[in-house]
């Protein structure tokens, strides 16, 4: 209800930012509502911009792509990821060949002051949002061939490739624009390419960045609907989500459930509100994942484990503490939005315990049984 649809909406918002560079009209408000709240001195403003229905349409189309089969969705993801890497590589190459240092000594660094740790943790939130996705491969583990080798391989080498590309492309941004212009830019990749190769070239690179964001959004629908599907199959979620489409063999209703929640969020929230709402939940659950791993190692010590975490328990502890610190700091900075996220999480507890008390059911043979019915 938060992590998957929220990340989809944040990515869709980034798509709109790139589209806005090409077509500024998408940022024009269609209408604005003002709602007076007794707890606030200023009325709450709700704005629906022209780009929000476009984002909702994109969400539906990518959900449909994943509905049509895992193999097709996987091939489409390979194409989008390849185009993404080409766009990033082009920015890096042009920056190395044509770029000039755009910053000055005075804006080449910054200090955090007395609130250094809090500022550092706040900066980490958008940074880690960019790297988010390293955990997604686990959600489709049931459909991965030879998962003991391929899941760790994909997570480790995929993350190394992403880190290398992102470090280089950000170095290019700072080298060409300088720190102050990067901080002020809403279209940093496009603005960089305007200086390097002009407006026309920047437009083509912007198209590449749109494809890059679409690739991230597509992978979201490829991975995360498998979670409510698996929960429903085991009796811990609404039963409709366990249906497998008989012809395409995809968790069709779970996919469209996630799409419907994402469309609702993209039409009713601002980028900043959804960003805080979603990132708070993600890092809270990253910390809980570390706790769960340590707990399972203790209570199920004899369980066969094809893959073991390097540097256990220190790597797990560092990861868990970092996740908890980021989430707590985000709650301190944005208490209202984060509290809404926490309330949504806690609202799931009575549902979980209700389903847990029900008799254990043998998972249905979805495709065959429903096709026969």
Domain ranges of the chain: 3-372
Average pLDDT, the chain: 80
The pTM assigned to this predicted structure is: 0.72
Return the pLDDT at 45: 65
**Other C-beta atoms lying within 10 Å of the C-beta of residue 339:** 13
CB 1 within 8 A of CB 228: no
Above pLDDT 90, what percent of the chain? 11
Of the candidate ranges 105-114, 163-172, 358-367, the one whose mean pLDDT is the lowest: 105-114
Return the pLDDT at 367: 44
* pLDDT higher than threshold 90 for residue 299: yes
* pLDDT higher than threshold 50 for residue 366: no
DSSP type of residue 334:
S
* pLDDT higher than threshold 50 for residue 106: no
Helix H or strand E segment including 174: helix 147-177
Residue 292 confidence class, pLDDT cut points 50, 70, 90:
very high
Q: Which fold has domain 3-372?
A: Amino acid/polyamine transporter I (1.20.1740)
Return the pLDDT at 372: 45
Return the pLDDT at 253: 92
* pLDDT higher than threshold 70 for residue 264: yes
CB 128 within 8 A of CB 203: no
pLDDT in tens, 11-61: 888 788 788 888 888 877 777 776 665 555 666 566 777 788 888 888 998
Does residue 270 or residue 22 have the better pLDDT? 22
* pLDDT higher than threshold 90 for residue 314: yes
* pLDDT higher than threshold 50 for residue 373: no
Residue 270 confidence class, pLDDT cut points 50, 70, 90:
low
Return the pLDDT at 110: 47
DSSP type of residue 121:
H
Residue 204 to residue 86: CA distance in whole angstroms: 12
Residue 105 to residue 118: CA distance in whole angstroms: 25
* Secondary structure class of 249 (helix, strand, coil): coil
Rounded average pLDDT over 242-261 = 89
């Amino acid at each position: 209800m938060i992590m998957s649809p929220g990340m989809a909406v944040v990515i869709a918002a980034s798509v709109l930012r790139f589209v806005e560079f090409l077509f500024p009209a998408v940022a024009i408000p269609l209408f604005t509502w003002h709602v007076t709240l007794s707890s606030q001195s200023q009325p709450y403003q709700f704005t629906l911009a022209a780009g929000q229905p476009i984002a909702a349409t994109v969400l539906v189309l990518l959900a449909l792509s994943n509905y049509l089969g895992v193999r097709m969705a996987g091939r489409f993801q390979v194409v989008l990821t390849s185009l993404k890497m080409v766009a990033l590589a082009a920015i890096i190459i042009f920056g190395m060949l044509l770029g000039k240092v755009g910053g000055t000594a005075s804006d080449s660094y910054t200090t955090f002051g007395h609130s250094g740790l809090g500022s550092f943790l706040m900066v980490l939130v958008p940074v880690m949002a960019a790297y988010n996705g390293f955990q997604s491969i686990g959600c489709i583990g049931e459909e991965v061939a030879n998962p003991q080798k391929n899941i760790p391989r994909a997570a480790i080498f995929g993350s190394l490739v992403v880190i290398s590309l992102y470090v280089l492309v950000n170095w290019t941004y700072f080298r060409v624009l300088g720190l102050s212009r990067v901080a002020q830019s809403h279209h940093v990749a496009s603005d960089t390419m305007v200086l390097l190769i002009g407006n026309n070239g920047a437009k083509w690179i912007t198209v590449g960045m749109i494809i890059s964001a679409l690739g991230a959004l597509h992978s979201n629908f490829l991975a995360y609907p498998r979670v409510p599907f698996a929960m429903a199959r085991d009796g811990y979620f609404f039963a409709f989500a366990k249906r497998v489409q008989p012809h395409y063999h995809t968790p069709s209703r779970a996919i469209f459930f996630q799409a419907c929640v994402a469309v609702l969020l993209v039409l009713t929230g601002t980028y900043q509100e959804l960003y805080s709402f979603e990132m708070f939940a993600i890092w809270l659950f990253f910390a809980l994942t570390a706790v769960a791993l340590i707990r399972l190692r203790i209570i199920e010590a004899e369980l066969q484990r094809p893959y073991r975490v390097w540097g256990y328990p220190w790597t797990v502890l560092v990861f868990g503490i970092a996740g908890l610190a980021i989430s707590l700091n985000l709650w301190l900075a944005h208490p209202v939005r984060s509290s809404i996220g926490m309330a949504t999480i806690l609202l799931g507890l009575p549902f979980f315990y209700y389903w847990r008390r029900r008799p254990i059911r043998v998972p249905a043979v979805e495709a065959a049984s429903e096709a026969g019915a």
